[in-house]
Amino acid sequence: MVKIRKPKKENDNILPIENTEALNDTLNKSEEFINNNKNIIYSVLGVIVLLILGFSAFSYFKENQNNTAQEEMFQAVYYFEKDSLVQALNGDGNNYGFLEIIDEYSLSDAANLSKFYAGASYLKLGNYENAIKYLTEFSSSDLLIQARAYSLAGDAYVEISDLENAIYYFKKASNENPNEYFTPNYLLKLALVYEEIGDLNSALDTYEEIIKDFKNSPEYQTSVKNKSRIEGLLL
């Protein structure tokens, strides 16, 4: 005997419509809550609007500041490249130097880059404390220039005979985006400082790293000679 299925009712699988009175009651409670707390709600909304406006204004200000600072920086870089380091740092009376750019446009990328140039300028002038100050304040996502800043900071520490800090910064330089062009030089500086403090084993390890990883570098032959010399001392 064939079993005849009863047709489904049209609304068998449809959720029942919410109770109208319950819905109205919920809406009334929501409205009552808003009326009772409207001052708080308006205050919160006001704070949110102010934060959005403040962030937009700050972003605009920072972008505008950076554009102006980059224009000011052009002449300072020119003086730096000409080794007119005092003018590069302090300006020429008509154009800002790196120090003024750092002070006047502190939030800009140009001010950050000016710290690198200021530190390098002070290093060349023999003002090692200020060189360290600006080079260690500089920070960049460009790993090559960041490594260069670390290396220059290491040079400045060597000049004031703070060899532990020199080692720290030469290590940072050599570990920052290792490459065949600059890393061997940073490692050679590191090895020489190790020798200076009498840590011959660390110096030997560093020379061996240059020999193994940077065979085509100018520092290779120096490292081979220094490695042989240290091995003789360690016998």
Burial string for 44-60 (b: 16+ CB within 10 Å, else e) reads eeeeeeeeeeeeeeeee
Note the pLDDT of residue 60: 43
Domains contained in the chain, CATH given:
44-139 (no CATH), 143-235 (1.25.40.10)
- The band of 25, judged by pLDDT with boundaries at 50, 70 and 90, is low
Average pLDDT, whole number, for the chain? 84
pTM, to two decimals: 0.74
Residue 40 confidence (pLDDT): 66
Residue 27 has pLDDT above 60, yes or no: no
Residue 67's pLDDT is: 80
Quick one: average pLDDT of 111-130? 98
**Tens digits of per-residue pLDDT, 160-218?**
999 999 999 999 999 999 999 999 999 999 999 999 999 999 999 999 999 999 999 99
Average pLDDT over residues 134-156: 97
For the beta carbon of residue 147, count every other beta carbon within 10 angstroms: 23
Alpha helix ranges (H) inside the chain = 20-36, 38-81, 85-90, 98-104, 109-125, 128-137, 143-159, 163-175, 183-196, 200-213, 219-234
Q: What is the rounded distance in angstroms from the CA atom of residue 96 to the CA atom of residue 230?
A: 50
